């Protein structure tokens, strides 16, 4: 291969995304005879499965999100670039990214797209303002501010009616993330914060876990779902199943039960963990090729994870649809390593036709319910309770990137699980208001200019919020 000036050039592999898929692909290319450019919109590699612990004050963001360029510092064939990829041109073989008002066009010979998935509100994106999801470090820190901020507001509130709303926490979606988050909010209220306030008893807090489905943790089913539900109820989490959210506003949620009854739940702090939508980059690929995407925006890939008509363009992880594989870290990691292995062999001269199909090795899945309690499913083996929790602990430590992160996490866990303390209970105004402030700067909402300091708080975090408005009624 030669460049424009006729000089020999190594194949250029561009990887979009520094999550599980992207990073594992890049690391596997360490000794490959290729030049790798990793482009991601964040400068860190995020271990999403532990985000809920950042949101609830157990871990700091640094423990679960090491800087990507430090992770691959010793990998000489790799360059890391921050950038939000806004365009992929399959014909020109370029990727266009933007960062801090600078635009970069990066050419590629092979492209690995691993941009993951975002939260889905099933067509009701306006819910996001009042019920944020938890996909990024920003989300987790904002949630920490909202959860702890609600207790702080309840302490200074003079009004019983407002206090009740402030101390009602609703988690929408009873999958692993929802279960973990509800469990941890309950532990905050019933363990960590007990005795820390003078006018409220945090044990009066209501933690509601809502889902339209009939079971908690439906992917586990049967015995494990029942065990998780029982444990959550013991921890004072109210489980409401068969409940569809029809509206979310600053004061709470409207919920439709199975019998058609619509009721209101008054709650200040709402969290959404009920669905995913793949990165819009999948749509771009579909528009330029014979590639199709499914309803969740995932790209239907070939058995070698390439897209139809483009054996040099791959989609992996949460963005890909193949054989009903779930959106799990293992699927992304194994997909990334598989593609990298092929590219490495092909850089040495192996033909593209010699690729064998991607085979996923299901190592099982697990979710924690509380400290000392988890559920795990490996093939036909199902475990619930303390032993499952120990396995969960060991596996999560093993897959955290970097020796330093593992050690720091182990220390934080020791204080939280064996004592009552949590080391990351700091909240700042910027964490809670940052997103709203950015919206204001970009002209999405009013400026609040001239309001009193309390009125400058966005309505979604104000204690004196008025009765539900029609403004966000779901269609």
Q: How far is the CB of 39 from ligand FAD (least distance, A)?
A: 6
* Pick 195 or 326: Cβ nearer ligand FAD: 326
Q: Which residues ranging from 329 to 348 are in contact with ligand FAD (CB under 6 A)?
A: 329-330, 332
Is 180 in the active site? Answer: yes
Q: Which residues contact 394 (CB under 8 A, 6 or more apart)?
A: none
Q: Binding ligand FAD by CB under 6 A: which of 84, 159, 204, 439?
A: 84
* Pick 42 or 77: Cβ nearer ligand FAD: 42
Q: Report whether 56 contacts 184 (CB < 8 A).
A: yes
Q: How far is the CB of 286 from ligand FAD (least distance, A)?
A: 15
* Pick 145 or 317: Cβ nearer ligand FAD: 317
For position 22 contacting ligand FAD by CB under 6 A, the verdict is: yes
For position 252 contacting ligand FAD by CB under 6 A, the verdict is: no
For position 240 contacting ligand FAD by CB under 6 A, the verdict is: no
For position 315 contacting ligand FAD by CB under 6 A, the verdict is: no
Q: How far is the CB of 16 from ligand FAD (least distance, A)?
A: 5
Q: Binding ligand FAD by CB under 6 A: which of 35, 187, 318, 346?
A: 318
Q: Choose one: 48-56, 146-154, 202-210, 433-441; the region binding ligand FAD (CB under 6 A).
A: 48-56
Distance CA 467, CA 161 (A): 12
For position 39 contacting ligand FAD by CB under 6 A, the verdict is: yes
* Pick 179 or 188: Cβ nearer ligand FAD: 179
For position 51 contacting ligand FAD by CB under 6 A, the verdict is: yes
The contact pattern for ligand FAD, residues 88-127, with x = CB under 6 A and - = no contact, is: --------------------------xxx-----------
* Pick 51 or 265: Cβ nearer ligand FAD: 51
Q: How far is the CB of 332 from ligand FAD (least distance, A)?
A: 3
For position 42 contacting ligand FAD by CB under 6 A, the verdict is: yes
Q: How far is the CB of 351 from ligand FAD (least distance, A)?
A: 28
Tell me, letter by letter, the H, E, C secondary structure of the chain. Answer: CECCCCCECCCEEEEECCCHHHHHHHHHCCCCCCEEEEEECCCECCCHHHHHHHHCCCCCHHHHCCEHHHHCCCCCCEEEEECEEEEEECCCCEEEEEECCEEEEEECCEEEECCCEEECCCCCHHHHHCCCCCCCHHHHHHHHHHHHHHHHHHHHCCCHHHHHHHCEEEEECCCHHHHHHHHHHHHHHHHHCCCCCCCCCHHHCEEEEECCCCCCCCCCCHHHHHHHHHHHHHCCEEEECCCEEEEEECCEEEEECCCCCEEEEECCEEEECCCEEECCHHHHHHHCCCCCECCCCCEECCCCCEECCEEEEEECHHHEECCCCCCCHHHHHHHHHHHHHHHHHHHCCCCHHHCCCCCCCCCCEEEEEECCEEEEEECCEEEEEHHHHHHHHHHHHHHCCCHHHHHHHHHHHHHHHHCCCCCCCCCCHHHHHHHHHHHHHCCCCCCCCCCCHHHHCCHHHCCCCCCCCCCCCCC
Choose, from 63, 180, 187, 460, the residue flagged as catalytic. 180
Helix axes 386-399, 403-418, angle to 10 degrees: 150
* Pick 75 or 330: Cβ nearer ligand FAD: 330
Distance CA 77, CA 17 (A): 17
For position 20 contacting ligand FAD by CB under 6 A, the verdict is: yes
Distance CA 243, CA 211 (A): 6
For position 409 contacting ligand FAD by CB under 6 A, the verdict is: no
The site that binds ligand FAD (CB under 6 A) totals a number of residues, namely 33
Q: Which residues ranging from 268 to 287 are in contact with ligand FAD (CB under 6 A)?
A: 279, 281
Q: Binding ligand FAD by CB under 6 A: which of 10, 41, 190, 406?
A: 41
The contact pattern for ligand FAD, residues 166-195, with x = CB under 6 A and - = no contact, is: ----------xx------------------
Q: How far is the CB of 388 from ligand FAD (least distance, A)?
A: 13
Q: Report whether 2 contacts 8 (CB < 8 A).
A: yes
Q: How far is the CB of 327 from ligand FAD (least distance, A)?
A: 4
Q: Binding ligand FAD by CB under 6 A: which of 134, 171, 174, 340?
A: 134
Pairing status of strand 94-99 against strand 84-89: antiparallel
Which residues are the active-site residues? 180
* Residues that bind ligand FAD in the complex, under the rule CB under 6 A: 16-22, 39-42, 48-49, 51, 84-85, 114-116, 134-135, 176-177, 279, 281, 317-319, 327-330, 332
């Amino acid at each position: 291969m030669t460049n424009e000036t006729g000089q020999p050039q190594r194949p250029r592999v561009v990887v979009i995304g520094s999550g599980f898929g992207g990073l594992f692909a890049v690391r596997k290319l360490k000794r490959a005879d290729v030049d790798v450019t990793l482009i991601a919109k964040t400068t860190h590699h995020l271990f999403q499965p532990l985000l809920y612990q950042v949101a609830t004050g157990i871990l700091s963001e640094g423990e679960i999100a090491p800087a990507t360029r430090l992770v691959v510092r010793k990998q000489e064939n790799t360059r890391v670039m921050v950038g939000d990829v806004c365009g992929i041109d399959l014909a020109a073989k370029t990727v266009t990214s933007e960062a801090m008002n600078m635009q970069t066009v990066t050419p590629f010979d092979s492209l690995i797209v691993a941009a993951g998935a975002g939260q889905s509100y099933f067509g009701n994106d306006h819910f996001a303002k009042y019920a944020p999801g938890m996909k990024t470090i920003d989300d987790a820190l904002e949630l920490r501010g909202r959860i702890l901020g609600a207790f702080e507001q309840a302490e200074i509130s003079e009004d019983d009616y407002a206090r009740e709303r402030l101390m009602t926490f609703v988690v929408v979606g009873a999958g692993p993330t929802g279960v973990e988050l509800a469990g941890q909010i309950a532990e905050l209220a019933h363990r960590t914060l007990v005795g820390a306030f003078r006018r409220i008893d945090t044990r009066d807090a209501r933690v509601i876990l809502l889902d339209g489905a009939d079971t908690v943790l439906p992917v586990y089913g049967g015995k494990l779902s029942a065990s998780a539900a029982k444990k959550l109820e013991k921890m004072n989490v109210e489980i409401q199943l068969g409940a569809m959210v029809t509206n979310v506003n600053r004061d709470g949620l409207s919920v439709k039960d199975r019998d058609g009854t619509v009721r209101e739940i008054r709650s200040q702090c709402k969290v959404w963990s009920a669905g995913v939508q793949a990165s819009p980059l999948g749509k771009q690929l579909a528009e330029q090729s014979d590639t199709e995407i499914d309803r969740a925006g995932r790209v239907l890939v070939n058995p070698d994870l390439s897209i139809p008509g483009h054996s040099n363009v791959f989609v992996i992880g949460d963005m890909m649809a193949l054989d009903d594989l779930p959106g799990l870290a293992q699927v992304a990691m194994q997909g990334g390593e598989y593609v990298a292995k092929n590219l490495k062999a092909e850089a040495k001269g192996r033909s593209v036709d010699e690729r064998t199909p991607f085979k996923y090795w299901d190592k099982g899945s697990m979710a924690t319910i509380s400290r000392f309690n988890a559920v795990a499913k490996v093939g036909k083996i199902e475990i619930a309770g303390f032993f499952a929790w120990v396995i969960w602990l060991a596996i999560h430590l093993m897959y955290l990137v970097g020796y330093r992160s593992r050690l720091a996490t182990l220390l934080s866990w020791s204080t939280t699980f064996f004592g009552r303390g949590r080391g990351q209970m700091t909240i700042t105004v910027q964490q809670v208001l940052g997103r709203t402030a950015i919206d204001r700067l970009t002209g999405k909402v009013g400026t609040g200019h001239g309001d009193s300091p309390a009125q400058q708080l966005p309505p979604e975090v104000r204690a004196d919020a008025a009765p539900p408005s029609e403004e966000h009624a779901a269609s």
